[in-house]
């Protein structure tokens, strides 16, 4: 392939594909182009949202919460009489890491025993739920950042939604591995008793092997629908759940069943191989989960992207322009008595990279110019103060002053600069050009 062809290919992915009119092309091409755009946006999101770094943080919190999470899972399983089943299935899941898992299991049982009575038990229960809630809160925070959501759930919703995730996750983990073996045994017995069914045995048994995949797809789909504090479409959640769930399953097969990871780490670490292998599994699993969330976001918002521009390197001046433009749109909409606008609706007027707008709106919320509300389960924005107070200078002053503005005793030169800036702010405030934002139309 010559240089010209390579350059045309690069230009196609960088520019041309974002300018294609989908109405003028066939359905097969439309599907292909949308798939490429989703892949590009998801890959870009992995880089811009620092997915590897977030996965490392979640790995750390997972390690802290692993024993309490096991303890809660076994407490739930014991209530249904499934504690032995859960233990067997988890041991099968952690094949090659039996030492780490068995030790964690002992700690989990000890933790459960310590919560069986008295004052110490009360502290034990609090620690148990705090550890798990902290992990789930950090998972939600990571998902919210990917989905450009500023506001986390309130405590009541955290309790209900997180408990739902834990219970469904617990059920699916038990069922995912055990159901194939159980059904295969039952079908084999039935085909032996009913000869007619024997003709379908060769078709039924291979089909059963898909069941563990299907249940993991369901678990990932629920995760992508429930964890972000925003409305995620069923289509986006299902597709990303299938993609991420399949990658996760094949990763586990390669790491444990095929023995690739086990043999490699056994050769280096010997009897200590279980620990780095467990960390590798945990870190990579979180990368896959967060990558799936990037796919879900890209699928749901693909039509809102008109370019593949990176949200990096924009000057402070440009960000202030975006802040004023966003406030004009939001305040004009508010004064018309219309429902508050979400991120995508604001961006229909402002037309900048979504990540940049998310950053600017976040700062306007934190400095008290805008506030967050909810519309159709999506985060939306409205003025936080009387619109008669919001001038251009008011926004710029709040935007620039948000954060630490003093650092103890200042040198004379810094004091002089501070006085000059304050005088300049006063002049701008008195200027005829310092108009109220409500005077502008979006």
Domain map (residue ranges) of the chain: 51-304, 316-403+410-439
State pTM to two decimals: 0.75
Low-confidence ranges of the chain (pLDDT < 50): 119-120
| pLDDT value for 135 | 86
Coil, helix or strand at residue 414: helix
Q: Contact, 66 vs 111, CB < 8 A?
A: no
DSSP summary character for residue 439: G
CATH match of 316-403+410-439 with 1.10.10.10 = yes
| pLDDT value for 120 | 47
C-alpha count within 13 angstroms, C-beta hemisphere, residue 175: 15
Share of the chain above pLDDT 90, in %: 28
Q: Contact, 378 vs 231, CB < 8 A?
A: yes
| pLDDT value for 96 | 58
Q: How far apart are CA 355 and CA 361, in angstroms?
A: 10
- For 21, the token pair is 């009119």
pLDDT digits (tens, 9 = 90+) for 62-86: 888 877 777 777 777 777 676 777 7
Q: Is 61 left (phi over 0), alpha (psi -120 to 50) or beta?
A: alpha
| pLDDT value for 235 | 94
| pLDDT value for 288 | 96
Other beta carbons within 10 Å of 27: 8
| pLDDT value for 119 | 47
């Amino acid at each position: 392939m010559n240089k010209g062809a390579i350059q045309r290919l690069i230009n196609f992915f960088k520019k041309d594909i974002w300018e294609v009119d989908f109405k003028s092309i066939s359905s097969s091409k439309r599907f292909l182009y949308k798939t490429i755009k989703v892949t590009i946006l998801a890959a870009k999101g992995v880089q811009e949202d620092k997915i590897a770094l977030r996965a490392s943080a979640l790995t750390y919190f997972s390690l802290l919460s692993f024993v309490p999470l096991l303890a809660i899972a076994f407490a739930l399983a014991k209530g249904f009489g499934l504690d032995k089943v859960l233990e067997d299935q988890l041991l099968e899941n952690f094949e090659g890491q039996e030492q780490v898992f068995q030790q964690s299991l002992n700690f989990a049982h000890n933790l459960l025993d310590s919560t069986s009575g008295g004052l110490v038990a009360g502290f034990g229960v609090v620690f148990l739920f705090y550890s798990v809630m902290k992990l789930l809160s950090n998972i939600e925070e990571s998902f919210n950042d990917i989905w450009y959501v500023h506001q986390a759930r309130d405590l009541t919703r955290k309790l209900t939604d997180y408990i739902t995730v834990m219970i469904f996750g617990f059920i699916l983990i038990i069922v995912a591995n055990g159901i194939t073996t159980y059904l295969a045994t039952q079908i084999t017995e039935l085909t032996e008793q009913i000869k007619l069914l024997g003709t379908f045995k060769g078709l039924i048994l291979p089909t059963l092997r898909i069941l563990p995949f299907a249940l993991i797809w369901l678990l990932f789909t629920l995760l992508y629908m429930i964890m972000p504090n925003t409305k995620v479409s069923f289509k986006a959640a299902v597709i990303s759940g299938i993609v991420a769930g399949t990658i996760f399953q094949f990763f586990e097969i390669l790491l444990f069943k095929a023995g690739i990871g086990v043999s490699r780490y056994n050769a280096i670490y010997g009897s200590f191989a279980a620990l780095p292998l467990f960390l590798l599994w945990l870190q990579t699993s979180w990368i896959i989960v967060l990558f799936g969330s990037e796919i879900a976001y890209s699928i749901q918002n693909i039509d809102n992207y008109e370019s593949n521009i990176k949200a990096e390197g924009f000057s402070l001046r440009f960000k202030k322009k975006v802040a004023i433009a966003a406030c004009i749109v939001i305040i004009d909409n508010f004064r018309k008595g219309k429902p508050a606008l979400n991120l995508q609706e604001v961006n229909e007027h402002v037309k900048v990279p979504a990540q940049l707008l998310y950053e600017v709106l976040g700062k306007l919320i934190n400095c008290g110019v805008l506030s967050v509300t909810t519309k159709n389960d999506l985060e939306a924005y409205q003025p936080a103060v009387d619109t008669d107070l919001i001038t251009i200078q008011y926004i710029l002053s709040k935007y620039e002053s948000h954060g630490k503005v003093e650092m103890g005793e200042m040198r004379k030169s810094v004091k002089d600069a501070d006085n000059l800036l304050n005088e300049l702010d006063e002049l701008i405030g008195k200027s005829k050009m310092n108009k109220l934002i409500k005077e502008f139309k979006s």
